[in-house]
Amino acid sequence: MLRLADAYVASHPHACFGHSRAWRAAVWSTYRLPTLVLAALDGDTVKGVAPWTVMLSPLAGSYAVIAPFASYGDLLGDDDVVADALLRESRRRLRWIGCGYAQVRTRWRQLDTGAARGRTDSSRFVTSRVVLAGGADHVWRSVLHPKTRNQLRKARRVGVKVERVASWSRFAEVCELGTHALGSPFHGRRFFRELAAGFGDRLQAWVALAPRGRPAAAVLAIRWRDTTHYVYGHNVHDPALRRSCANSLAVWTMIEQACRDGQRALDLGRSELGSPAERFKRKWGGTYEPLHETLALLWRRRLPDLNPTNPRLRALQRLWRALPRPLVRRLGPLLIRGIG
């Protein structure tokens, strides 16, 4: 059955890398999170797939998501009738195994929560897609904002170098420094090694080195069909390093590689409107699309408040920033397994 479901995912126009077996295998190998893959069948023909992963959060309890740790992941069906039937059956089964709620972030359609309590918010998160037709020269001249071109020129002028990742230790170090300053846990090295094993040359990562060889920024991309997806990107929160515009040159290197690979678009991933990440991605000249975030209650009476404005979360972020880095490196993978 899993082979049939994977074949359906491979052919469905709304599937993304987060639905793939390679992504699910990396999540399982690293975090051992339970999975529930439901398929809608018409005889022996698959008409829809809902590949759920159960997250284990110390704050929100257990809940289910599609495409954990990815920007979004649609519930896949031949039509809305199939998708809604899959959602109804998912509610029943996820509640039976103890999930408090289910979360889906989708580009393509708002899910109908029906009789289940919950909500859909289409105003909080967006994704941005940069059209790469015409190649890197066209993107430079006609898509990038003038300020972005100036930042890229500055990065080259001050001596920033961008290198393909040869060691996940250096890549993870940059990400750890960036997320630690933000008060958030992050994946350990093992997760990236598992992704590289599953995706092969479709996964590409770079580290930007400021003058004197100091790691300043890192980005990771996955090619999925004709689109390169910007999966992760972080920079070291040091004023001198940030002034070098190393993070911008890392993203531009990713765009150049995508153009060389013949990709038609760059998906810049999920961002919260008004956040620093959204402001950074805005300057690449992409077209914004809303992401529909559906939260459906199962056995819980109300949804957890996981908004960054929650004072409890702010206190936890301050505590995380105060922890020493060796402890952050050890605890980060244990905590992020509950943040889908």
Instruction: Note the pLDDT tens digit of each residue in 125-135.
Output: 999 999 999 99
**According to the model, what pLDDT value does residue 340 have?**
72
**Cα 64–chain centre separation:** 16
- Tokens matching residue 220: 């990771």
Closest CA to 206 of 147, 259, 158, 246: 246
Q: Are 194 and 25 spatial neighbours (Cβ–Cβ below 8 Å)?
A: yes
Angle at 225 between CA 223 and CA 231, to 5 degrees: 30
* pLDDT per residue as tens digits for the range 261-278: 999 999 999 999 988 889
Environment class of 157 (CB within 10 Å of its CB; exposed 0-12, middle 13-18, buried 19+): exposed
When pLDDT is cut at 50, 70 and 90, the band that residue 319 belongs to is confident
Question: Does the domain at residues 127-289 carry the CATH identifier 3.30.70.260?
Answer: no
226: its two tokens? 């004709």
Into which CATH architecture does domain 2-125+290-336 fall? 3-Layer(aba) Sandwich (3.40)
pLDDT tier, 221 (very low <50, low <70, confident <90, very high otherwise)? very high
User: Using one digit for the tens of pLDDT, what is the confidence trace for 54-108?
Assistant: 998 877 788 999 999 999 999 999 998 898 888 889 989 998 989 998 989 998 8
Strand partners of residue 119: 295
DSSP letters, 248-279, are: HHHHHHHHHHHHHTT-SEEEEEEEETTSHHHH
Query: Tokens at residue 56, please?
Result: 């284990």
Which run of H or of E encompasses 65?
Answer: strand 61-66
Tokens of 108: 């393509």
- pTM score: 0.92
Amino acid at residue number 260: R
**pLDDT of amino acid 306:** 66
Domain locations in the chain? 2-125+290-336, 127-289
Question: What kind and span of H or E run contains 210?
Answer: strand 203-210
Asked if 2-125+290-336 and 127-289 have one fold, the answer is yes
Give CA–CA dist 73/47, Å, rounded.
17
In the structure, what pLDDT confidence band is assigned to residue 16 with cuts at 50, 70 and 90? very high
